[in-house]
Structure 1
Amino acid sequence: MTDSKYFTTTKKGEIFELKAELNCEKKDRKREAVKKVIASMTVGKDVSALFTDVVNCMQTDNLELKKLVYLYLMNYAKSQPDLAILAVNTFVKDCDDSNPLIRALAVRTMGCIRVDKITEYLCEPLRKCLKDEDPYVRKTAAVCVAKLHDINSQLVEDQGFLDMLKELVSDSNPMVVANAVAAICEILDVSDLDSSHDTLRIDSHIINKLLTALNECTEWGQIFILDAISSYNPEDEREAGTICDRVIPRLAHANSAVVLSAIKVIMKLIDMLDTNSDQVSILIKKMSPPLVTLLSADSETQFVALRNINLIIQKRHDVLKHEMKVFFVKYNDPIYVKLEKLDIMIRLTNQSNIAQVLAELKEYATEVDVDFVRKSVRAIGRCAIKVEVAAERCVSTLLELIQTKVNYVVQEAIVVIKDIFRKYPNKYESIISTLCENLDTLDEPEARASMIWIIGEYAERIDNADELLEGFLEGFTDESVQVQLQLLTAIVKLFLKRPTETPSELVQQVLSLATHESDNPDLRDRGYIYWRLLSSDPQAAKEVVLSEKPLISEETEMVEPSLLDELICHISTLASVFHKPSSAFVEGKSTVIKKLTRSVTPVQTTDEQIPEKTKQVKQPPSNDLIDDLLQMDFTPAPKQPAPSNTTSCDLLNSLDLIGDSQPAALTTTPVQVLAPVPVSVPIAAPPSNILDDLDILGGITSAPSPIVPPAFQMQGQASLSGNSFSAHPFVSPTQVWLPMSKGKGLELSGIFRRKDGQVYMDITFSNKGVQPLSNFAIQFNKNSFGLVPGQQISQINTIAPNTSTNFSLPVNTNGPIHKTEPLTTLQVAIKNSLDIFYFTTQIPMHVLFIEDIDVNKSFYLNAWKEIPAANEAQTTLSNIQFSTFDILAKLNANNIFTINKQRIGEEDIVYLASKLTNGIFIMIELKILQCNITISLRSRVTQVYPDVKNAVCGIINCA
């Protein structure tokens, strides 16, 4: 009869009977009684009353009975801490037993009894077991150190167990090494990583021992060792290459966890290698077959592999660039595998394989699984956006799918065609008539909103656009908010494009419905904005509503770069499956990025070196990680009063967004087409709900547009320590360019500043000589930024002795270019009636940041990833007493524009961009934690780093 009989007893008075059996002299009856106790404990019965009787059974040579008693102890020791001390002597005795299994069992149980009162009694037995002659005991004791550290870390440090644990890393037995490494990693992971744990740091000497033990460990031991190796930062490129070479054989292992752990190590270390070296090519080639092999496993393993592959190809697109066919969907794949394969297919799509991908997607669009068909149709649209040469073929395919008249296929096709129109404006408008034939079949909000957007965007080309939109308007109150918002914008577009042909009643009706009949604040706000614009200044309305929209990109689901670096460090863990950092789903988990970069010589600055970057980022949970990168969370600036001579773009300043008063009647005066609103014109930021809802389907685009309107940047105020300030352009301190001793009595001083898109050189001419000075002229030598005087200074009047004259000289940037050292050097010649004088100065870099830069999210993400890690520089500012809002306001006011800001725990991570007058594009990452700021720079021209760094630091530190 099996042991299952112990789980079926329901007798009354059982505890009394068990107590008697436990105290029986017969060993067999005693063993049976303990089994009954464990069975009762397992099914949830409280048998803690038998604690003393069970502990008395520990004094036995029977290994089975001893295991059962230890199991009981582990379960009830915490609820009976005083009685648990009774077992201490037995533990000490068992740790000296001749049987290594009993010694290991004793030390394992000691680690599992989480009672503070008896931990100090366990130190000596644990110390003996750490030096035991049997490797099985030593490997068990190594894990016990980690468990004891979790109970009382100070005790472990005081007793020297950390040093003993590190000694086990050099053990001759590979399993002891693996367990020691696992314990060390656990301790480092849960501790505060302070100086007391420096003894556990893995160095190059230990790495060699781990690599040696790697070949002899079991598969789980190999995983522990590979995880430890992945946390090590090699000293140079040569060491990183050696580690990669010794890890490569693990790629052929039968265990998928070992394979992914090995890939994690290689993916991290490959960043330290020369990207053009043969070794990198070999490593990339060798990573491909094992990843492909993982896709032949069961569905669950496939899904885990696909989620990891999704990250790997975002970091290293060339790893699987020739393996497109393995990601083709099989008919019997579960839906979660199909969708993941579909996403990877799109990421690997390029001009060479677009034909076979499109053929596959067309087949998928005829499947019976509705969700999969929808994703497939959307994938065709993503292909059109990603591969321009295949866009026409993709559009034709979508039209073929529309002709099938399958409702959900038609609706998805219309949604993606809207995106194609955004990507390729004025190119495929001939298909609009085909789309309009399906208006009556659209019942999903997103499809209806997309169709309305298309009609409004091309209203001037659709003869009956007013009739089509009027048809939607009949059921306005029953539509979703998404459709209502697009319908409002589309009718206003129609009115602005065809003012004489559009019935004003149609516009008046939609505005009334949006403002008076709707309770949705977003819809009401947009309605009042349009109403006030149309009634006050139609030209301003046209500039705003019909402004040029930024082109969209296919890469809408890319993981944000710093998060991607972190997830690469966690390949083969749940973090890589969820695409979220472990801190997002493990309570109390601190996330540390161990990013490796190739060793390079830091960029030299005027007073310090910019150190290499080691990122440390904690990422909050999110539904879409690309959304995390591009979701602004700024607090909008206070509304500013409109000036008396309100310009077309200042009208938003004076809008009453609550809109309680009745706006003026709409004007039907024909309006003229104007240029889009330039970025440099101050537009007061409306409340955040309006910024959120004027989306890519509407007339005004905010997100994902990365440029924050300058009023958003310059007019906002923030409070700091009871004082408020208004962000303003940064001005460097006044400098003496030409001292009196060299100018024969003429002294030149001044500053460089930027105003309204123009660089100015504000010069003070001081005559400290004895004769008047006149006939002034100025000339610049060739310089790195093509700076030339915008006018001559001959109009300066005669300067009498002991007097001064101020002159603001506009400086243009269209002159001849010649690289100088340093780049900001400017050589100037000043002529007057006395002589010609020469001086050299440095142009402050912040005056060369231009106001108008064209950056969308795809460009920013791709530019960041395309620039190699060697081109990244970093510096740190300490004791900064400004808030994040204040810092960004100052940077934005000086043309360093915010792309995104996100809050991660206590740390703010901000992405910014700027462009110099000569077209050099600069990307900046700020990590703001309390009073410390880490500034990271990336650009294709690394020579600008020192001056850009000085400019950013100066702007941040300015009052």
Structure 2
Amino acid sequence: MSSLKQFIRNVRAAKTIADERAVIQKESASIRASFREESGDHSVRRNNVAKLLYLFTLGERTHFGQIECLKLLASPRFADKRLGHLATSLLLDENQEVLTLVTNSLQNDLAHSNQYVVGLALCTLGNIASIEMSRDLFQQVEACVNTSNPYIRRKAALCAMRICRKVPDLKEHFVDKVSNLLADRNHGVQLCGLTLATSFCEADEEEDADGDEDIVEKFKIFVPNLVKTLKALATSGYAPEHDVTGISDPFVQVKILRFLRALATGDAHVSEQINDILAQVATNTDSSKNVGNSILYEAVLTILDIEADSGLRVLGVNILGKFLSNRDNNIRYVALNTLIKVVAIEPNAVQRHRNTILECLRDPDISIRRRALELSFTLINESNVRVLIRELLAFLEVADNEFKPTMTSQIGIAADKFAPNKRWHVDTMLRVLTLAGNYVKEPIMSSFIRLVATTPELQTYAVQKLYINLKKDITQESLTQAGAWCIGEYGDALLRGGQYEEEELVREVKQHELIDLFTTILNSNHATQVSTEYIVTALVKLTTRLSDPAQLDRIRRLLEVHQTSLDVEVQQRAVEYTNLFSYDQIRSGVLEKMPPPQIKEESRVLGAATTTKKAKAANRKSRVVKPTEQDLLFDLMDTPPTTTPAAGGASNTDLLADILGGTSSPPTSTSPGPQQSQAASIMDLFSQGPAQPVGSPVPVMGGSNMDLMSSMSAVATPPPQAQAAPQAPAGLPVYDNNGLNVSFQIQRNAEGLVQVIGRFRNSGPGPLSNVGLQAAVPKTQKLQLMAISSTDVGPGAEATQRMIVSGAKGVCFFPLFAFVLFYQIANFLAAAATASEDWVRAFVCRRSDGPGELDRAVLIWRMFSSGGGVDLYAYDDKASVLKNRKICEDERLGAIKSTPSKPPTSKLSCCQQYLCAHEERQTLHSVTLVRVNAVNEEIRLFRLGVKEGSRIELLIRCDLLIAGKQFLPGQWLDTYVPGVPKAGGFTLTSPPSKAVLPRSAYLELAVQKSPTNPAAAWLWEQPVDDENEDPSQVEKKPEIQVRVGGSFVWPPPGIADLASLRRIVFIAGGVGVNPLMSIVSHLAEGVEGKGGCPYDVQFMYSTKVPSSASPPEESGEDSLLDSEKILFMERLAAIFGREKVRGQMRLFLTGLGPGIASGEPVLHCNEMDVPFKRRRMGLEDVAEALGPEAERGDALVYVCGIPSMTDELVESLTSKSGLNLRPERVLCEKWW
């Protein structure tokens, strides 16, 4: 057998890969044969293992030599042990089964008398330690840390770091050892101790979700000593034992800086302690050598991550600016990469290095060009937009194709946000379209078209420039499309002539030149399908703008040619446009110029980077703030208390929109009525459903009768009357009389947390004194009442008082806490005593809607009126239409007839009378269960037929009944089935158009099997229909009662300008696909009757594959999934396969059986093959669907799934540490 040196020579001497392979295979066979002989010669075993290590470096298989490594490890000879430990560290890892045999050998070596053997064992354990090995050997490592031998201590410290990473529970055994390691005079021990301590701090930041700062706080006592050590190293003279190119121990300096950064992040006090030493290190360290640059770079990172003052940050940015001029590409790259994170902190300091950054755009290194480009976009502002865009356009002209998509989007966004004037904006976008039209994304092109459409004074200029550029170059797709659109709209302006530039003369464009240009483009190889659609539409629009009959005839012939196009969309347009020639009386109106769209100002992000350390600091500093648990008056509801969760999350900018708990935007309205809206706004602040508006005024409770509402908890609220929802104003007026105006502003700051601001304004001629507010809430909520800003309110003055009410998620916030105003002015009380009907408002309480139950009550409190009193008016039960019927005394309310002479008591036993409502109730509607289809073993589809001639007045937005309106896509049904008093809530999966079909109108539900849900259980008891059976022969099924509600709908509540949307992302988890199926089906039919869906739709569907969809194991590895067993899979594939919506479907499947094909994961549907991923959906997948960060401001996200998934996604989408989307652009519904 050859030696190791000879083996290496033979491998290197091989002239071809085949020769090298032959040498390796021959030697591997010889090594195996030698292992089988079990020679007792230790030199032969070492030689064989050394060859295995060389084979390992070549990437060859070495598993057959693992046992030989263990034999060398167990040998008493040092030479054997040294090679055995090296081979074990390289050839084995923590996942190998033979690793259990190593534990005993390592335990023996850790107790060895030779320090070098102990060091070898510590190195091996630090490389391959598993969880089991860590638990078995941590005591020996702990003993090594406590030894006085510095050689062993430093290795033991690094080994302890590996053990604590594998088993975090063992940190407590090593945390106290850090102080001795950091105090050691040996630099090696100190270096390893710093590494261990930094690892503890970083792990504490990542793993500690409860804000426990024990480890970091414990280490902060080391800061003064570390500062002294760092200062000594930075200012010390030549030390030969630690010197590296003239710098004293740069390794320890870097480790100290990193450890100080971990301690000072988010702590202003520690940051103040280390500011001076950071400035000293940054000023005195030599930057001519890479060793000094490494220290400076670490110092800059520390300066930027801690709470440093602005001067120190500027110093750090200047150091990065010096790095940009360094000839080393690595240093320049890290400088650019770091500056991207600094822009958000010190933008002015980074702006000083703008020229240097722009020079990096011409660097031959592509990675530096990419980073410089990203940084350049973050520097753009109003003052430098002309200079930077000019440089970026120059770079765009020579940039690689991979840069162009991002560059065109970012330039478009920057021009839209910082354009000094519209003319410059148009010129910039024209330049972009000319240079990189094939890489311009549709939203950017649409933005340019919208700019032209909304700027009449530049329309002639823009269309002329587009025409000239198209004459020069027809290869740029976006230029062709924008030019076709503008020429079609403003062709008459082009024909009239105008100045291309101010100094140029008028140039005339002939009519035939326009048709010649479009003909040239259509006949070229550059005419894509979309471009052809644009041109065909532009041609038909020109028929009303041209006067030459010959050219009109040419347009007609061109349209006739495309009537036989293979593209369905082009063919359809050509046929329809040709037929339009037969309707001259309406053609001019149909082809009129499009009205300019509304441009909604939106904030856009230009490359803003989030800093991980800052996010960690924010998490470290954040604490759970619990509302003060105090009951200022006493319990009103007489109900047991519930646990109030900690309030968290960002504030919602829509003050009243999110109070109802279901949406982040307020429902739109069609009729006035602020008082009704405000009564609804107080309702159900902590619940998940929207509140119900009410038609009666809202009283504010006064007097001493604080529990007069206690028995009202049993009174339920029906759906509201048939009227439009008003737009909720900012304040709720509660009292306006006798010179005092009182209003409440209600704001939901976070889920389960409501803030009420009371405003007291003196509208009278005299001053008011001792003004105050007291309130009480039920035990299910907690109240924190602040002091009033001023108890004395002068004429025209105003005072405010704030209260915070918190409640558990899902707890109904009854507006039954009483507000009592105390006024101690004689003349004010005298006037109030004689007032009639002074203070009247309505409060509404809702509960279940069982048939025959009283489900609405309006409580009217008469304050200061003669005799005082409380009147209780009640609506009739939902099944009755009788008028003015007396309702008998209800034992749940304990009410008697009112007597004005009798004062109110705390038991609600006076001043009450029951009357019926003066309107008919139109809420429940009868439908017939006509068909039941089984999707899989867990889900069935139920089709509910609507009787011909009936018009179901379904709920829109906040449960308002609007006669003649269809339901909105995404809403749910309250479903009452025979024999079950409680309604079942199921989401509609059919679009609204199916509910108004002439002879087969229906609603569709997808219901999951749920024995605990009585309504779902009843539906599942109905027999499944045979798909081949004649529907007319199907046995008649029973009728059920339904009612529609919900605000998780399309159009999205609160977004009035749908033109601001460009991308819609649907995220469905399991049966959470139900409402999204209704919405996307509606979009596929065309939004609001208009042709086609104008939005880019990204549908993300994550579901567990049902067992019936997976083939059996014996079916072979080529078996396919049954797509029909996956809910709505075929329907979604048809929508995206036929391109009814523009976008992409992304499928994530879990629970796949072993019989699924292991090749490319594709789900075969009838319409298309849908690729899928064998895992759960992640935030990175959502970020990819949302597109570039700069375009996410135009996106809308719908999330529907189980609560855990929905909460996690919504938090990640809206938080600053996540994707930072605006909360009103993220709509969610939780599927329980």
The TM-score bracket by the shorter chain reads 0.5 to 0.7
- The structure with higher relative contact order (CA 8 Å, sep 6+) is 1
Residues 174 and 280 (structure 1 numbering): CA distance in 2 closer, same or farther, change over 3 Å? same
- The alpha carbon displacement at 1:70 in A equals 0.8
Residue 484 and residue 901 in structure 1: after superposition, are their counterparts in 2 closer, same or farther (change >3 A)? same
Instruction: Report the equivalent of 2:6.
Output: 5
1:891 Cα offset (Å): 12
Relative to 1, partners in 2 of residues 1:762 and 1:355: Cα closer, same or farther, differing over 3 Å?
closer
**Shift, 1:754, TM fit:** 8.5
1:267 Cα deviation after fit:
3.9
Q: How does 1:315-354 map to 2 (within 5 A)?
A: 316-329=346-359, 331-350=362-381, 352-353=383-384
State the shift of 1:436 in Å. Answer: 0.7
**Match runs of 1:685-696 below 5 Å:** none
Letter in 2 for 1:595: A
State the partner residue of 1:546: 595
Map of 1:179 onto structure 2: 195
The residue type paired with residue 821 of structure 1 is T
1:107 equivalent to 2:155? Answer no
Q: 1:454 to 1:607 in 2, by over 3 A?
A: farther
* Aligned match of 1:595: 618
- The 3 A distance-change label for structure 1 pair 14 and 499 is same
How far apart in 2 are the matches of 1:93 and 1:2? 31
Residue 219 of structure 1: how far off its partner (Å)? 5.6
1:472 equivalent in alignment to 2:506: no
Could you tell me how far apart the structure 1 residues matched to 2:488 and 2:738 are?
55
**Equivalent position to 1:483, from 531, 551, 554:** 531
Indicate the residue corresponding to 1:128 in structure 2.
143
1:261-300 to 2 correspondences below 5 Å: 262-270=299-307, 279-294=309-324, 296-300=326-330
1:157 alignment partner AA: D
Q: Distance in 2 between matches of 1:511 and 1:726?
A: 53
Distance 1:500 1:147, change over 3 A: farther
Matched position secondary structure for 2:359 = coil
Amino acid at match of 1:737: V
- Report matched runs for 1:183-582 at 5 Å: 183-184=199-200, 187-188=203-204, 204-205=220-221, 237-243=268-274, 246-248=277-279, 254=290, 262-270=299-307, 279-294=309-324, 296-314=326-344, 316-329=346-359, 331-350=362-381, 352-353=383-384, 356-357=387-388, 360=391, 364=395, 384-389=415-420, 408=435, 422-423=450-451, 425-428=455-458, 429-440=460-471, 441-463=473-495, 468=514, 472=518, 479-487=527-535, 490=538, 545-550=594-599, 555=604, 557-559=606-608, 564-565=609-610, 568-569=611-612
Aligned residues: 710
| Superposed displacement of residue 522, structure 1 | 11
2:40 alignment partner, one of 9, 23, 37: 23
Are the aligned partners of 1:166 and 1:200 in contact in 2 as well (CA < 8 Å)? no
The answer as to whether partners of 2:323 and 2:331 remain within 8 angstroms in 1 is: no
Contact 1:365 1:373 (8 Å CA) reproduced: yes
Contact 2:733 2:742 survives alignment (8 Å) = no
Matches within 5 A, 1:882-921: 893=1053, 905=1178
> What does the per-residue CA deviation read over 1:437-494, in whole Å, with 9 as the maximum and x for residues that have no partner?
2324211322212222332453452337897378537876973244245446656776
C-alpha separation between the residues in 2 aligned to 1:44 and 1:908? 33
Task: Report matched runs for 1:557-956 at 5 Å.
Answer: 557-559=606-608, 564-565=609-610, 568-569=611-612, 593-595=616-618, 735-737=698-700, 755-757=725-727, 781=741, 820-822=799-801, 835=835, 893=1053, 905=1178, 929=1204
Q: How many Å separate the matches in 1 of 2:696 and 2:1204?
A: 28
Once structures 1 and 2 are overlaid, which stretch shifts more, 249-258 or 342-351?
A: 249-258
Distance in 2, Cα, partners of 1:379 & 1:548: 22
- Is contact 1:236-1:599 (8 Å) kept? no
Separation of aligned partners in 2, 1:321 and 1:81: 54
Unaligned runs of 5+ in 1: 274-278, 572-591, 616-635, 637-678, 683-724, 743-748, 766-775, 789-815, 845-850, 852-880, 911-922, 939-948
Give the Cα–Cα distance (whole angstroms) in 2 for the partners of residues 362 and 418 of structure 1: 20
**Cα offset for 1:335?**
3.9
Please give the per-residue CA displacement for 1:666-693, whole angstroms capped at 9, x wherever unaligned.
xxxxxxxxxxxxx9699xxxxxxxxxxx
> Residues 61 and 221 (structure 1 numbering): CA distance in 2 closer, same or farther, change over 3 Å?
farther
Contact 1:727 1:889 in 2 (8 A): no
Kindly indicate whether the alpha-carbon contact (under 8 Å) linking 2:697 and 2:841 is maintained by their aligned counterparts in 1: no
Q: Cα distance, 1:106 vs. partner?
A: 0.8
Higher Cα radius of gyration? 2
Tell me how far apart the structure 2 counterparts of residues 535 and 242 of structure 1 sit (CA, whole Å): 83
Which amino acid in the other structure matches residue 465 of structure 2? Answer: T
Matched residues in 1 for 2:310 and 2:402: separation?
Answer: 39
- Answer whether contact 2:380 2:388 (CA < 8 A) is retained: yes
Residues 123, 196 of structure 1: alpha-carbon distance in 2 compared, 3 angstrom cutoff: farther
Amino acid at match of 1:24: D
Partner Cα distance (2:624, 2:357) in 1: 41
Residue 377 of structure 1 contacts residue 409 of structure 1 at CA under 8 Å; is this kept in 2? yes
Unaligned runs of 5+ in 2: 11-22, 234-247, 496-509, 632-643, 651-662, 671-687, 706-711, 746-757, 761-794, 804-818, 845-956, 958-984, 988-1044, 1068-1176, 1184-1195, 1215-1222
The one-letter amino acid paired with 2:117 is I
Q: Separation in 2 of the partners of 1:896 and 1:203?
A: 54
In 2 relative to 1, CA 531–757 (structure 1 residues): closer, same or farther, beyond 3 Å?
farther
Distance 1:925 1:332, change over 3 A: same
- Residue 223 of structure 1 deviates from its aligned partner by 6.0
Percent identity of equivalent pairs: 14
Partner of 2:1133: none
Determine which structure has the larger helix proportion and give its number: 1
Change (3 A) 1:81 1:460: closer
Find out whether 1:145 has 2:160 as its counterpart: yes
Deviation at 1:337, TM superposition (A): 2.8
Is 1:73 the equivalent of 2:88? yes
Give the drift of 1:550: 1.7
Change (3 A) 1:455 1:147: same
TM-score, length-scaled by structure 1: 0.55
AA in 1 matched with 2:700: W
Aligned partner of 1:436: which letter? Y
Deviations 1:36-65 (A, max 9, x none): 453355446666666565544446787664
The one-letter amino acid paired with 1:341 is A
